[in-house]
Structure 1
Amino acid sequence: MNKILIIEDELVIREELTILLKNAGYLAETVLDFDDCISEVETYNPDLILLDINLPGQDGFRLCSSIRSFSSVPIIFITGRDTPFDELQALTLGG
């Protein structure tokens, strides 16, 4: 069964994604401690990460770069931001 890690700080979005993914047969885990996302990624070892850009402490772009330093896990950015620069930066960083 595929494991998906959700890194999203908005409670409603995080809960809805978790419910939808579990109902579709995935193992969905969420990050609640945004100061320690890297260790949660290493511990959970997901098959996919759903990553918000606007997070407390550090943004999703910086977190994506940190994850890319040790993992090639697919990362999909989930965000309300829609500028071409955001899209380019997400793709450039490996999302």
Structure 2
Amino acid sequence: MRRRHHFHIDHAGHSVSATVQTGHTAVVEVLVDGKETGYATTHADHPVTVHVELPTEPPTPVSVRATARPEPACVFESPSAAPQPMAPRPY
């Protein structure tokens, strides 16, 4: 059965959200400021990293590391800060 789990973090004035859809093939979507900027799939319980950019001048490369099992979780990674867990959202 598929379930969708939502995560969020604010970084450098930008909103970064991730949705992890669990199932046989996990799907990870990353939105920056409300626009889909990254997408990845992974099988079973393998973690996946989605690389995206923040719309700064010049663009700032960041990534979201997601795991679907045993409990979905996302970690935000930026070259200017230590890795930070993204907060789960109930919607």
* Fold match by TM threshold 0.5: no
Q: Which has the higher contact order (CA 8 A, sep 6+)?
A: 1
Higher share of residues assigned strand:
2
Structure-2-length-normalised TM-score: 0.31
Structure-1-length-normalised TM-score: 0.30
Higher share of residues assigned helix:
1
